[in-house]
A and B are shown apart, each in its own frame.
Chain A
Amino acid sequence: MDMNDYLSMFIDESNDHLQSLNENLLKLESAPEDISIVQIIFRSAHTLKGMSATMGFEDLASLTHEMENVLDLVRNNKLKMDNFIFDTLFKGLDALESMVQDIIGGGTGKADVTAIVANLQAIVKGDHKKDQAAGSADASATGNAGGGALLDQFQSSILLQSIAAGLSVFHITVTVREDCVLKAARAYMVFDFLEHNGEIVKSVPSVQEIEQEKFDRSFTVFTIASISEQELRKGIESVSEIEGATITQLDRESLEQLAGAAAVQAAAAPIANASAAQSEVSSAKAQTAAASATATAPAAQASGGAAVASRTIRVDIERLDALMNLFSELLIDRVRLEQLASEIRRGELTETVEHMSRVSSDLQNIVLKLRMVPVESVFNRFPRMIRDLAKTLDKKVDLIITGADTELDRTVIDEIGDPLVHLLRNSLDHGIEPIADRIAAGKSETGTVHLRAFHSGNHVFIEVEEDGRGINREKVKQIAIKNGVVTADEAKRLTEAEINMLIFAPGFSTADKISDISGRGVGLDVVKSKITSLGGNVSVESVQGKGTRFSIQLPLTLSIISAMLVKLGTEKYAIPLSSIVETGIVLREQIRKIHGNRMIDYRGSVIPLISLAQVLDSTTFREEEEHETEIVVIRKGDKIGAITVDEFIGQSEIVLKSLGKYLTNIEAISGATILGDGQVALIVDPNALIK
């Protein structure tokens, strides 16, 4: 098996583990005493460490190892979680994520994580509280050094060892000519030359970035060369379009200066026991090996890396539509074949047709599911975002997500992420008040943001609701007038709802101060235009002092819902399962008449009985002749009603289809679906039945 096969498995699993780490850390943050969560996190981290070590991603493994050390202490009750630890762990997670991203992109998964590692080590030693100040000083020192060329601990130790071994180490800054067309190619030629005559330990920017031309006019390389300075210079400058190279031979002292930050850190975190030191040495060796591997095969890397993330492919939605339509045709023929087979009664024919039926039902499931994705894939990044945002804003916020399993069309899922981020940021920044204001207003100090997704009728709704300060309509009006969105005269005539909608106008911002969270006035109008382009709608409801609710309504162009299929005489109808409470049978004598309306007893209350046949003008179903009537109890909000049907057929996943532009707004019908036998069945809109 090719290494790439393992690699794609590794990537899939790492992503799973990272997601689980993220989720569980968030959970732990709300319940820091719960050791069982720590256990789960520990196991995930441990698996991740093992996997990355096996795959040779040493940076990933060593960072996970440090995180694991911290978690181990917590697990054994030797350490109590606090904010600093959480922040450091989250930072570690972010670093891990970017490393994995790098690997997916074909990179080596390397990243400079010394600051995080130092923090983690400080936590393990139990003196992070004292060291916090020192730690930040470290970080700033690192930042300074980063302006020139930054060497991490491992790289500097390699260089030091090389100097000690009598090899010449050079720090080379190469500048390409301003009119150079193929910067990356020239840089590659320089690298090629250096690799032939030694070993490149570190380059700034990284090899990948240079390959992608992500550098300005110069780049810096640390190399252990086997030739003299003159030869190096001659070699580099012989590459065309290179303006020049500054070559400095490094000795111990200058190296320490360059790697100053790393050295300081090493000093700040003295290696307490010998085994730790040893492991570091061994990882440093591995690092050398990895580094040389990186350096010698940059081209191979690019080609090998591209194949990694290809477990999914992008398919044009139109092709899926075509597939879907072709498949429905196939279904019709299947039913015909089944009929023929039952007439002809040949064993072999029947068997073949039965097999074909089974295969086509499997195929049907796949085709139907192909386009649909649960909104979870968008929602699952929000808890973390809210947490970080709440910290930055110094507010307390609970995010409650419901309906994450609601499925949405792939195209919509791809587009809905950014608008939701905008809305959530907006809710936190403008909606939820600072803690002091909340207490003053008699609210609990923790604000709540609800993120809901649900199907309703022909639409999917996504709502963002918070219990913050609500929209100040007077202020909205003033600003709208000031910014020229409306004139003063127009503003007077606006209804409350219209004033609310003003916040979606281009160039509108209600924040007193411009913050980097939101409030640059580019947020909400972008949200609105995006949703509109998806064929949807945004609305906002707000009660001042109580909170605001943004509601996004998205159409189901092609969406699958679970439905109950029922019969009315010869006709078949589908009732969306989402509005069905239960099904049952009532006897004729149980039906009562109140004010001429038929009602039945239902679990202690009296609910109206609606005749579906009457609503839909059914001519083939004689309800009066029924002694027992099948009923479907449906719900609209908190109202409940029962509808009478002829017969239940069963539950089924159906594909919603529109009736076309010619037939619109038909009472009590929200769309149509094509049944397995190729017939069209209409979908009843229960919301229209309960008034």
Chain B
Amino acid sequence: MSEEIKVIVFGLAHEEYGVEVDKVRTIERMMPITRVPKTPAFIKGVINLRGVVLPVIDLRGRFGLPETVETESSRIIIVAVNDLEVGFIVDAANDVIDIDENSIDTPPEVVGGIKAKYLRGVAKIGDNRLLIMLNLSEVLNKSEIIQLEQVEA
């Protein structure tokens, strides 16, 4: 039995990633970000999203990818997981597609240099398109942030 899920597809460092559409609140254009001191480098700061202050994470930084200058196509994807609401800076938000849940395979050990635990799996769409499904609660894992801070300190 197969189940279709809707997925938002975004681009990050020449790869395509997907998050379930029901975890995404909105997709915003880049907006002024206020830096928050004493936080890990991948936390870019906070934004004012219609009166609510939300932290913004640079996904490239979070995954240890080299940071780039933001472009016209850069977007902030606001996701909500386990009552955390956070914005992700991505290179581009491309598409909404339906994928078959069964087509998601467990990820190989290393995909684009990202630790496997952040990934839910890899979905194959069409012939040569691979979509990396993110494991959001792992990406937003706070205890890891604390560890990171301790390493820095």
Chain A residues proximal to chain B, CB less than 8 Å: 324-329, 332, 571, 615-618, 657-663, 666-669, 672, 674, 678-682
| A666/B50 in contact, CB under 8 A | no
| Given A662-B140, A663-B43, A666-B39, CB of A327 within 8 Å of CB of B34 | no
| A616/B37 in contact, CB under 8 A | yes
Q: With A and B bound together, what is the CA distance between A657 and B50 in angstroms? A: 13
Q: With A and B bound together, what is the CA distance between A554 and B73 in angstroms? A: 44
Which chain B positions have C-beta within 8 A of A666? 36-39
Asked if B109 is at the interface (CB within 8 A of a chain A CB), the reply is no
For A674, give its contact among B43, B48, B84, B140 (CB under 8 Å): B48
Asked if B115 is at the interface (CB within 8 A of a chain A CB), the reply is no
Q: With A and B bound together, what is the CA distance between A571 and B33 in angstroms? A: 11
What is the total of A-B residue contacts with beta carbons within 8 Å? 82
Which chain A positions have C-beta within 8 A of B34? 571, 672, 679-682
The smallest C-beta distance from A117 to any residue of chain B, in angstroms, reads 58
B31-51 with Cβ < 8 A to chain A: 32, 34-39, 43, 45-48, 50-51
| B51/A660 in contact, CB under 8 A | no
Asked if B95 is at the interface (CB within 8 A of a chain A CB), the reply is no
Interface 0/1 of B43-85, CB less than 8 Å to A:
1011110111111000000000000000000000000000111
Asked if B142 is at the interface (CB within 8 A of a chain A CB), the reply is yes
The smallest C-beta distance from A216 to any residue of chain B, in angstroms, reads 52
The smallest C-beta distance from A368 to any residue of chain B, in angstroms, reads 12
For B39, give its contact among A324, A327, A660, A663 (CB under 8 Å): A663
The smallest C-beta distance from B83 to any residue of chain A, in angstroms, reads 6
The smallest C-beta distance from A13 to any residue of chain B, in angstroms, reads 38
Asked if B86 is at the interface (CB within 8 A of a chain A CB), the reply is yes
| Given A324-B51, A680-B46, CB of A662 within 8 Å of CB of B84 | yes
Which chain A positions have C-beta within 8 A of B53? 657-660, 672, 674, 680
Q: With A and B bound together, what is the CA distance between A617 and B35 in angstroms? A: 10
Most buried by A among B37, B48, B54, B55: B48
Which chain A positions have C-beta within 8 A of B39? 663, 666
Which chain A positions have C-beta within 8 A of B54? 660
Which chain B positions have C-beta within 8 A of A667? 37-38
Q: With A and B bound together, what is the CA distance between A544 and B105 in angstroms? A: 68
| B86/A662 in contact, CB under 8 A | yes
Chain A residue nearest to B82 (CB atoms) is: A661
| A682/B36 in contact, CB under 8 A | yes
The smallest C-beta distance from A629 to any residue of chain B, in angstroms, reads 20
Q: A663-B39, A679-B34 are in contact. List 12 more A-B contacts (CB 8 A).
A: A325-B52, A326-B50, A617-B38, A659-B53, A660-B46, A662-B86, A666-B36, A667-B38, A669-B36, A669-B37, A674-B48, A674-B51
| A659/B52 in contact, CB under 8 A | no
B contact patch SS:
strand
Which chain B positions have C-beta within 8 A of A678? 32, 48
The smallest C-beta distance from B120 to any residue of chain A, in angstroms, reads 20
Q: List 16 A-B contacts (CB under 8 A).
A: A325-B50, A325-B51, A328-B51, A332-B48, A616-B38, A658-B53, A659-B46, A659-B53, A660-B53, A660-B54, A662-B84, A662-B140, A667-B37, A674-B51, A680-B34, A682-B36
Which chain A positions have C-beta within 8 A of B36? 659, 663, 666, 669, 682
The smallest C-beta distance from A572 to any residue of chain B, in angstroms, reads 8
The smallest C-beta distance from B36 to any residue of chain A, in angstroms, reads 6
Q: With A and B bound together, what is the CA distance between A660 and B47 in angstroms? A: 11
Chain B residue nearest to A680 (CB atoms) is: B34
The smallest C-beta distance from B42 to any residue of chain A, in angstroms, reads 12
Most buried by A among B35, B37, B45: B37
The smallest C-beta distance from A612 to any residue of chain B, in angstroms, reads 10
Q: With A and B bound together, what is the CA distance between A617 and B36 in angstroms? A: 9
Chain A residue nearest to B31 (CB atoms) is: A678
| B85/A660 in contact, CB under 8 A | yes
Most buried by B among A324, A332, A658, A661: A661
Which chain B positions have C-beta within 8 A of A325? 50-52
Q: With A and B bound together, what is the CA distance between A660 and B85 in angstroms? A: 7
Which chain A positions have C-beta within 8 A of B38? 616-617, 666-669
Which chain A positions have C-beta within 8 A of B48? 328, 332, 674, 678-680
Chain B residue nearest to A323 (CB atoms) is: B51
Which chain A positions have C-beta within 8 A of B43? 663
Q: With A and B bound together, what is the CA distance between A615 and B39 in angstroms? A: 13
The smallest C-beta distance from A122 to any residue of chain B, in angstroms, reads 63
The smallest C-beta distance from B38 to any residue of chain A, in angstroms, reads 5
Interface 0/1 of B84-98, CB less than 8 Å to A:
111000000000000
The smallest C-beta distance from A523 to any residue of chain B, in angstroms, reads 34
Most buried by A among B38, B83, B85: B38
The smallest C-beta distance from B56 to any residue of chain A, in angstroms, reads 10
Which chain A positions have C-beta within 8 A of B51? 324-329, 674
For B55, give its contact among A328, A663, A669 (CB under 8 Å): A663
Q: With A and B bound together, what is the CA distance between A365 and B35 in angstroms? A: 27
Q: With A and B bound together, what is the CA distance between A308 and B86 in angstroms? A: 48
The smallest C-beta distance from B84 to any residue of chain A, in angstroms, reads 5
Which chain A positions have C-beta within 8 A of B140? 662
For A660, give its contact among B35, B37, B84 (CB under 8 Å): B84
Q: With A and B bound together, what is the CA distance between A615 and B53 in angstroms? A: 22
Chain A residue nearest to B47 (CB atoms) is: A680
The 7 A-B pairs of least Cβ separation, nearest first, read A325-B51, A328-B51, A680-B34, A616-B37, A657-B53, A672-B53, A667-B38
Chain B residue nearest to A616 (CB atoms) is: B37
For A571, give its contact among B35, B46, B83 (CB under 8 Å): B35
Which chain A positions have C-beta within 8 A of B85? 660-662
